[in-house]
Amino acid sequence: MKIVPLNGYVVIKPLAAEEVTKSGIVIPDTANKEKPQEGEVVAVAKTNISTNGQELPIELKIGDHVLYGRYSGEDVKVDGIEYKIVEMTSVRAIIKQ
């Protein structure tokens, strides 16, 4: 099954949160509660039109690694895989590698 987001939305596959730092320090669950989430963009809407009818640029593309707010969007499960559907304005940053 394929998810196709509509106007101004993006589908993100959340990446697993790192529980141990590179130096071996264990990070408790409560430490990550307020931090933005990281994920990979798997689908992007073809349009992004504001409420006043102005066409906005689409800056995201499939494959981008992004940060988004923890409480942004909706969680959905399709074919056993968890996704997050969020508004493009909820994406905080693109992670360049």
Q: Please, which pLDDT band fits residue 36 given cuts at 50, 70 and 90?
A: low
Q: Please, which pLDDT band fits residue 25 given cuts at 50, 70 and 90?
A: confident
Rounded to whole angstroms, the Cα distance separating 38 from 35 reads 10
Rounded to whole angstroms, the Cα distance separating 37 from 33 reads 9
Q: What pLDDT shows up at residue 11?
A: 96
Could you tell me the two tokens for 73?
């969007």
Tell me the mean pLDDT in the region 9-18.
85
Which CATH code fits 9-14+34-95? 2.30.33.40
* Residue where the block lists tokens 């997050």: 84
Query: pTM of this prediction?
Result: 0.79
Q: What pLDDT shows up at residue 50?
A: 86
Could you tell me the two tokens for 49?
């039109």
